[in-house]
Amino acid sequence: MSTESIQHPVLKNRSYKPILPKRKEWPVVKLSRQRKEFIDTVVKNSITKLLELAPNTDTLIEELEATLYKEKYRIRENPWAVDPDDDRAFWSSAKKTLLEISSLQADHHHEEAQRKAETLLEEIVDRYANEIASNFRPSYYRFARSVVTFGFARLLNASRVKGFGSLFSNQYSLRDKIRITGEIDHLRSLAQRGTIVMVPTHFSNLDSILIGWVIHELGLPPFIYGAGLNLFNIGIFAYFMNSLGAYKVDRRKKNNIYIETLKSYSSLAMQWGIHSLFFPGGTRSRSGRIEDKLKLGLLGTAMEAQRTNYLRSQQTGETAEKIFVFPVVLNYHFVLEAPSLIRDHLQREGQERYYIENDEYSQSSKIISFLLKFFLKGSDISVSIGRGMDLLGNYVDDEGHSLDKQGRHISMREYFCTGEQLTRDEQRENEYTRMLGESILQEYYRINQVFSSHLVAFVAFQIIRKQHRSLDLFNLLRLPEEDLIIPYKLFRKNCERVRQAVFNLYQQGKLDMPDHLTDPIDDVITHGIDNVGMYHAKRPLLKNREDNIIIPDITVLYYYHNRLEGYDLHTFVHPKKKKLIDIAE
């Protein structure tokens, strides 16, 4: 197969009209206006679920004690600037109350102990719910959206247009920089027929702002989404997160009370018809590869919301709102935090065999510096939108009908029934959630775009790995610089071979690729080397004066290499033995 046989569709820039032009029609505005009612309902639902899990006073006291212990540990060992000022005082008071409850229980005053335990539970859940809740304000959203669009566009034109007037030029838009591909019209259609749950891959702290811009660009109303509380430590992110409707997710809090409150918040939002977004990988990919395992907790809240919608429909006679899941893959040539992420990954994998250095970007000034570098360099981003699914992972058509593998309509409602009756079966729904997670992962790999930077990083690392087969990963990463040189002819030949394999997978519908990957192979290689890790102080891949490929930072190269893991492309890399290379040279 030749490059001429590849007919890659080009997505033309389009302007998408808002599907809900009036702000008062946005579901998230409804939540904003009824914020207190919403939070009160979250608290009520959470307490109901928690009391089911702790049906007697002893188990409830145990749950409260476990929560107190974990929270005191968090405050002592891992405090954050964004934590409430009264954090320590609240939990100290909770400790005193819990001691009183335990004393009452020991003295056989069971009813009073139960009442006080439930009151303390309500106080904790109320605190968590108010901490989690978003503060979406339409005026703030409009301003934040304008700042992102105007500011980024100005930087983009400054990098592409010469002269003083470049800052005021409108020659280039963000759509020239950030390419949105995939099932756009399908997404817009279903957003008018049900509730959307968007589930992107997660590589960078910039992902949330990027997805927020994409949602607006496609004419969709604002989504709510769970943003890591750590982002609120960073000034520039804290402003945008608050303005764009983010609810806070604190991954330090591992206790059941917090987790159930978070789940209730997510589920109720979907029951209210509010489009939601969350990163099912749970956190940024440390290794650089596409997620191969998902955290299913928040996905499970969609299952609960769908069942509740069917039950409400049965009671009211109205049509049940259906929930649709859209996988999204974010494609970067480089990731701001790559050096610290891969070192974190290697420390987890190798433990004492690998020493981690802190290289995290946690200051607003560093984020702004990165944005300036990004736009001035001319590197691109693509956002690939997959096909909509129901909550069992079946594809759906533009009208929202679930389809089996033969394209026939199937009833989603029946999957929540025992016989003819709608029933709650958590074990059954957990299995559905697992199936949905597997379908999302498959869609990630199908819509992932292979950039030139991914290609050159993958080939370079695989050549070195196969030239040193006797070394494990950690010893490989310690190779001296003189062993990290690849003759260009060898590198070019392997890039051609792997690109051909990518073409074949593309034609089979197993991955996606951008137009630049069809350029002459030398241009692809140059483009890839110019873009891979372009912002890092130490580049992972370069050409030297002899025109050979050198690897200044093999650890960061490993991060970018990992993006193409999962496609078995390593089988197409065939490096020669080093001695033969030396003789040939």
pLDDT digits (tens, 9 = 90+) for 249-294: 898 999 999 999 999 999 999 999 999 998 999 889 999 999 988 9
Dist CA 200 CA 275 (whole Å): 14
| Closest to 325 measured CA to CA, from 344, 301, 349 | 301
- Half-sphere exposure for 248 (CA within 13 Å, toward CB): 27
pLDDT reported for residue 210: 84
| ∠ Cα 219 409 272 (to 5°) | 45
- Span 386-414, mean pLDDT? 95
Say which DSSP state 8 is in. P
**Both ends of the chain: CA-CA distance in Å?**
31
CA-to-CA distance for 10 and 7, rounded, in angstroms? 9
DSSP string, 448-484: -B--HHHHHHHHHHHHHHHHTTTS-HHHHTT--GGG-
Length of the chain: 585
Side-chain-side CA neighbours of residue 33 (13 Å): 10
Mean pLDDT, rounded, of the chain: 87
3-state secondary structure of 55: coil
Half-sphere exposure of 530 (CA within 13 A, CB side): 11
Q: What stretches of 275-332 show up as alpha helix (H) in DSSP?
A: 297-316
Lowest mean pLDDT among 23-27, 124-128, 168-172, 334-338: 168-172
Distance CA 11, CA 34 (A): 40
Task: Write down all domains in the chain, each with its CATH number in brackets.
Answer: 33-132 (no CATH), 138-447 (3.40.1130), 450-584 (no CATH)
The residue type of 462 is Q
Q: What is the pLDDT of residue 11?
A: 45
Q: What is the pLDDT of residue 152?
A: 56
Which of these ranges, 218-227, 486-495, 507-516, has the smallest mean pLDDT? 218-227
Mean pLDDT on 420-447:
95
Residue 406 has pLDDT above 50, yes or no: yes
Q: pLDDT higher for 209 or 149?
A: 209
Residue 510's CB is within 10 A of a number of other CB atoms, namely: 14
Which helix (H) or strand (E) element contains residue 417? strand 417-418
Q: Which residues contact 144 (CB under 8 A, 6 or more apart)?
A: 239, 240, 243, 244
User: 50-106: per-residue pLDDT in tens?
Assistant: 999 999 999 999 999 999 999 999 999 999 888 999 999 999 999 999 999 999 999
Q: How confident is the model at residue 216 (pLDDT cuts 50, 70, 90)?
A: confident
Phi/psi region, residue 217 (left: phi>0; alpha: psi -120 to 50; beta: rest), is alpha
Compute the half-sphere exposure of residue 312: CA atoms within 13 Å on the CB side of its CA: 14
Please choose, from the candidates 414, 391, 390, 413, the residue with its C-alpha nearest in 3D space to the C-alpha of residue 402: 390
Helix (H, G, I), strand (E, B) or coil at 519: coil
Average pLDDT over residues 512-535: 93
Q: φ, ψ for residue 504 (rounded to 5)?
A: -65, -45
Contact 274, 59 (CB under 8 A): no
Average pLDDT over residues 312-340: 92
As a whole number of angstroms, the distance between CA 114 and CA 104 comes to 9
Rounded Cα distance, 74 and 76, in Å: 5
**For residues 502 and 513, is the Cβ–Cβ distance under 8 A?**
yes
Residues 6+ apart with CB under 8 A from 546: none
What is the per-residue pLDDT across 437-484, written as a single tens digit (0 to 9) for each?
999 999 999 999 999 999 999 999 999 999 999 999 999 999 999 999
